[in-house]
Structure 1
């Protein structure tokens, strides 16, 4: 992901055949929090989606049925609901589980802090051959 992401490296908590979990800290000194929202800093929701996506990709490195060393690609976000804000200093856990693998891969993701669930989503991925970074940018 982008170097502008406040997530940094996600800590892998667990991975198995049916899903994975990662964690990160919403750093209080991250500049993205200053502008979102002034006087009431919260982590933008797009970073919760990114955390779930990166957790799925971490899982896929060892468990996806990808042909020829392929990769997974986010095809659709079928559902995304935010329940409460993530504040500076919060520890955030992203937990994803495989729901269906008949037509690609469908994941249920729950993102939480110590105050409870902050977001849930359903993400659909397609499995395909690995893409060269240069090919995907041209």
Structure 2
């Protein structure tokens, strides 16, 4: 099972875990969040990330999901990407997380691709111009 680490601006990581708990009716296993605080030391964030990856990697790797590319959490995640069996995906959304959790029993590359597809397919225009056929 691929472990999943959410590394995001506070309080997003914890909020996404709460949302996943709501959808799945329990807290998914091998899922953790690091909520990066304003002005938090980046070396501390990277160390917390390494420790979390150590706990989450059961041999199938860890997918790190981060919120905004270029932000502090994403920049710290790039340092974690250098670790063995770690993949990083920016642009965190709930559809991305749910897809990652759903496919996490596959290999890390497939989980990454499914999470990325979840994010892309989860962005849908919803208004009066959108007609859904019965």
Output the TM-score relative to the length of structure 2: 0.25
**Structure with a larger share of its residues in strand:** 1
**Structure with a larger share of its residues in helix:** 2
Output the TM-score relative to the length of structure 1: 0.25
